[in-house]
């Protein structure tokens, strides 16, 4: 298997992309995980530098001004997420494939930037009602934030055609298998990506 390919997973919040990404990282696919930067506070057992780089809004804005992001977005008012160019370079220098777990706009922007050199996968919830139930069960957000996330998910679903593959996460085991099959095919057949930017 040749090295240095990009795989992007995007989804509305609560659709299950992080669970799928963790599964792929547990396999022997030579993935380096691109740790995103965010201005939000850590949730649960999340660790700085492993799950996200948790930085202040001021620091995030400074990095924007210094052109340190491959992509970034103000996902909610005052809440930023982005992919640092230094993360892509770090993983590329290690000779690994790069796995991104990013929001829908970020995923579509990375796909646009790298084109056929990247595989973009959209994880879709079976319905907005099911998505709301999952967010409620997660118990990490207040009802107002859940309403915001559902409204945002409705908008994010309009981006689905910008992705190469759509996986409906109705049954997790099926979604994991579908993701693994498609990613393995891409890693085995796509042209080498040697252009670290």
**Residue-wise pLDDT tens digits, 21-37:** 999 999 999 999 999 99
Average pLDDT of span 127-155: 87
Mean pLDDT comparison of 54-58, 101-105, 114-118, highest-scoring range = 54-58
Please report whether residue 38 resides in a domain. Answer: yes
Domain region containing 147: 6-189
104-108: long-range contacts (C-beta < 8 A, 24 or more apart)? 104/10, 104/11, 104/12, 104/156, 104/159, 105/71, 105/73, 105/156, 105/159, 106/10, 106/36, 106/71, 106/72, 106/73, 106/81, 106/82, 107/8, 107/9, 107/10, 107/163, 108/10, 108/159, 108/162, 108/163
Please report whether residue 196 resides in a domain. Answer: no
- 2, pLDDT greater than 60: no
Please report whether residue 152 resides in a domain. Answer: yes
Number of domains forming the structure of the chain: 1
pTM for the full model? Answer: 0.86
Predicted pLDDT of residue 194: 45
Average pLDDT of span 15-19: 90
Average pLDDT of span 123-146: 87
Please report whether residue 57 resides in a domain. Answer: yes
| 137 pLDDT tier (thresholds 50, 70, 90) | confident
Average pLDDT of span 170-175: 94
Predicted pLDDT of residue 162: 95
Please report whether residue 149 resides in a domain. Answer: yes
Q: Which residues pair with 124 in a beta bridge?
A: 168
Please report whether residue 169 resides in a domain. Answer: yes
Predicted pLDDT of residue 123: 96
Please report whether residue 194 resides in a domain. Answer: no
On whether the CB atoms of residues 54 and 48 are closer than 8 A, the answer is yes
Please report whether residue 53 resides in a domain. Answer: yes
Higher pLDDT among residues 39 and 142, named by residue: 39
Of 162, 121, 143, give the one whose Cα is nearest residue 11: 121
| 146 pLDDT tier (thresholds 50, 70, 90) | confident
End-to-end CA distance of the chain: 22
- 86, pLDDT greater than 50: yes
What CATH number should be reported for the domain holding residue 166? 3.40.50.300
């Amino acid at each position: 298997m040749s090295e240095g390919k990009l795989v992007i997973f995007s989804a509305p919040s609560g659709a299950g992309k992080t669970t799928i990404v963790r599964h792929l990282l547990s396999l022997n696919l030579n993935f380096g995980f691109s740790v995103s930067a965010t201005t939000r506070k850590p949730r649960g057992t999340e660790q700085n530098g492993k799950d996200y780089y948790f930085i202040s809004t001021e620091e995030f804005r400074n990095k924007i001004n210094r052109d340190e992001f491959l992509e970034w977005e103000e996902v909610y008012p005052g809440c930023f997420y982005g992919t640092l160019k230094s993360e892509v370079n770090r993983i590329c220098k290690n000779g690994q494939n790069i796995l991104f777990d990013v929001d829908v706009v970020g995923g579509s922007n990375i796909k646009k930037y790298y084109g056929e050199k990247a595989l973009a996968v959209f994880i879709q919830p079976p319905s907005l009602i099911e998505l709301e139930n999952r967010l409620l069960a997660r118990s990490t957000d207040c009802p107002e934030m859940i309403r915001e996330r559902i409204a945002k998910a409705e908008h994010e679903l309009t981006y689905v055609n910008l992705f190469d593959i759509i996986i409906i996460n109705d049954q997790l085991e099926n979604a994991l298998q579908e993701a693994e099959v498609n990613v393995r095919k891409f890693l085995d057949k796509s042209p080498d990506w040697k252009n670290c930017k």
